[in-house]
Amino acid sequence: DAGVIQSPRHEVTEMGQEVTLRCKPISGHNSLFWYRQTMMRGLELLIYFNNNVPIDDSGMPEDRFSAKMPNASFSTLKIQPSEPRDSAVYFCASSFTSGGFGQYFGPGTRLTVT
């Protein structure tokens, strides 16, 4: 059984460049979450989707961040332009929409912006 798939696993980019992170949720899950993890701020929810529709994007830091979910099996998180303070591990997670289930996290993308 494939879990949540994220790509790339590591990304190093220069300040000002566009970064796109990709996620494939577990088949059958209809909720998808994007998190950011840093030592200083811990695990923060950026945005989540139910049935491909964004439900809560209050955690998205600023307009430089955008997320899309064009279909049930794919989502992207884009940062444009990137800044050094965006350096973090970005996790995608998926779950069933009804509240009785846990979230299943992907392996994460470690982003470094120089």
Question: Whose structure tokens read 């990709």?
Answer: 22
Comparing CB distances to another protein, the nearer of 41 and 63 is: 41
Q: Does 109 bind another protein (CB under 8 A)?
A: no
Q: Name the residue among 1, 77, 71, 90 with its Cα closest to residue 30.
A: 71
Q: Name the residue among 89, 94, 8 with its Cα closest to residue 52.
A: 94
Tokens of 97: 């929409």
Q: Does 42 bind another protein (CB under 8 A)?
A: yes
Q: Segment 67-86, which members bind another protein (CB under 8 A)? A: none
Q: Which residues form the interface with another protein (CB under 8 A)?
A: 31, 33, 42-43, 45, 48, 50, 55-56, 91, 93, 95, 97, 99-108
